[in-house]
Amino acid sequence: MAEAKPKDDRTAARLAGLSFANEGWQAPARGDALARLTAMGVPGRRDEYWRYTDPASFNAPEAMAASTAGDGDDRPVFEGIDRLKLVFVDGVFDAAASDPLALDHVEISLLGAAQSDIHWARDLYGVLEARGQVPVKRPFAALGTAFATEGVLLRVTGAVPKPVALIYIHRAETSDAILHHCIRVEPGAEVTILESGPAAARLTKVMEVDVAEGGRFHHIRAQGPDHERRACTHIFARVAGKGLFKSFTLTANGVMTRNEAVIELVGDDAVAHVAGAAVGDGRFHHDDTVFVTHQGQACESRQVFKKVLKNGATGVFQGKILVKPGAQKTDGYQISQSLLLDDDSVFLAKPELEIYADDVKCSHGSTSGAIDETALFYLRSRGVPLKAAQSLLVLAFLAEAIQEIENEEIAEDIQQLLEAWLARHEH
């Protein structure tokens, strides 16, 4: 109770700077989201899921200025991959920089432009986000539904021949972007979504993904390498029977990143894998907050999160598997690990399992450790120099997460990015 008043004040302050555009087909969803947000308020450190991550910079009325610089010699990610490019500059779609919105087996429209009623999107926009508010409140996701005017709406109707790439560019030092993407994968359809680049000084993002019966969704995201980024992102996914959802995120640098993934396996024999590899050096705070709900029978879920931390970097993992009554034959797996390269870095992990069915297999593990000195000596005794040996072991540590990327060309690209990052951040 004591916190109610300041919480209301913080929420009011956060909302004061935003303009609420309540028109078009999204109007009811926006109105509901704003009501949700007002009711729950923006988070404080006392909120259970914000104990390890300070929400202050997400709560602040304005974005803190952030340099657009990365590490200097880093190259654009996914450069060599044939993809349909959709470019957002400081959170605003840039038609001139983007490819035409045309690709086989996918209908592409923009949230801002789609003024006419798109039925499928109306049934999705804010819907999964609202479902994902229980039992854990996600105020910034509601904010994303209420206030986003930019984003893509993708309806996937078949096997899309190449990845759809969302490319983010950060130009203005204090840009404050709010994005909301909706993706509907129709029965038996398949798509790969790529996301890359620093979006803005501060990014609030929601992606809702609805995978219908037998649909297949692949998501590979590269966050960074901007150092001063503050990002609070959410993926809400609903996976129907025999559907597949796979999401991988590479995070390099960033003072404040929170990635939430809320996944519901609603049909039988569905699969959801969510993975992350994060590398941070110095002022780095990275939080993966994951919630997987098993409702259908014989579904498989995997959470694989690896963090490499040095020079006082902080990593957070809050991951939950909820197995609902009747979700028999569930196969759940969760691993969260950190490699601490010095004594100053911190890893905070909160693995949770909640199981209401009796015929399930759920395993979870969380470890935190330094580089294995025995392995290091073994490599060096064969002539591998110290730094190269350390990099080899760091990459080995991250391998399980990288292996979650099915597309070999994309996995190789991510691997090279990591190698380059490690070379720049050698001890």
Partner 1 sequence: MLEIKNLHVKLEDEDKVILKGVNLTVEAGKVHAIMGPNGSGKSTLSYVLSGRGGYVVTDGSATMDGHELLGMEPEERAAAGLFLAFQYPVEIPGVGNMTFLRTALNAQRKARGEDEISAGDFLKLVREKAKALKIDADMMKRPVNVGFSGGEKKRNEILQMAILEPKMCILDETDSGLDVDALKLVSDGVNALRDAGRSFLVITHYQRLLDHITPDVVHIMANGRIVKTGGPELALEVEKNGYADLLDAEAV
| Strand, coil or helix: 377 | helix
Site for partner 1 in 388-407 (CB under 8 A): 388-389, 392-393, 395-400
- Residue 235's closest CA among 347, 325, 141? 141
- Rounded CA-CA distance 256/287 in Å is 8
Confirm or reject binding of residue 383 to partner 1 (CB under 8 A).
Answer: yes
Does 382 bind partner 1 (CB under 8 A)? Our answer is: yes
**386 touches partner 1 by CB under 8 A:** yes
**Nearest alpha carbon to residue 335 among 301, 371, 294, 286:** 301
CB of residue 421 vs partner 1: minimum separation in angstroms?
A: 17
Please say whether the dihedral angle defined by the alpha carbons of residues 382, 384, 385 and 387, taken in this order, is positive or negative: negative
Q: Provide CB contacts within 8 A for 262, sequence distance 6+.
A: 128, 132, 138, 234, 235, 236, 237, 290, 291
375 binds partner 1 (CB under 8 A): yes
Q: Tell the smallest beta-carbon distance from residue 233 to partner 1 (Å).
A: 27
In angstroms, what is the minimal distance from the CB of 381 to partner 1?
5
- Residue 74 CB, shortest distance to partner 1, in Å, is 23
Report 101-130 residues binding partner 1 (CB under 8 A): none
Q: Which of residues 353-372 bind partner 1 (CB under 8 A)?
A: 372
Chosen residue from 377, 409, 423, 426 binding partner 1 by CB under 8 A: 377
Reading the block at residue 88, the tokens are 């957002």
Nearer to partner 1, 122 or 380 (CB): 380
Q: How far is the CB of 346 from partner 1 (least distance, A)?
A: 23
Which span (108-116, 170-178, 250-258, 384-392) binds partner 1, by CB under 8 A?
384-392
d(CA 104, CA 189): 12
Minimum CB–partner distance for residue 375 and partner 1 (Å): 5
* Choice from 384, 407, 411, 420 touching partner 1 (CB under 8 A): 384
CB nearer to partner 1: give 27 or 375: 375
Tokens of 16: 């004061």
CB of 78 to partner 1, least distance (A): 24
Q: How far is the CB of 71 from partner 1 (least distance, A)?
A: 24
Q: What is the dihedral of CA 210, 213, 216, 220, to 10 degrees?
A: 20
Rounded CA-CA distance 71/69 in Å is 7
DSSP 8-state secondary structure symbol assigned to residue 103: B
The span from the CA of 59 to the CA of 50, in Å, is 12
Among residues 22, 76, 95, 378, which is the contact residue for partner 1, using CB under 8 A?
A: 378
- CB nearer partner 1, residue 15 or residue 388: 388
Cis peptide, bond prior to residue 163, ω within 30 of zero: no
Each residue 319-358 as x (binds partner 1 by CB under 8 A) or -, in order, gives ----------------------------------------
Q: Phi, psi at residue 157, to the nearest 5°?
A: -115, -10
Q: Which of 33, 178, 217 is nearest to 93 (CA)?
A: 178
| Residues within the interface to partner 1 (CB under 8 A) | 372-375, 377-386, 388-389, 392-393, 395-400
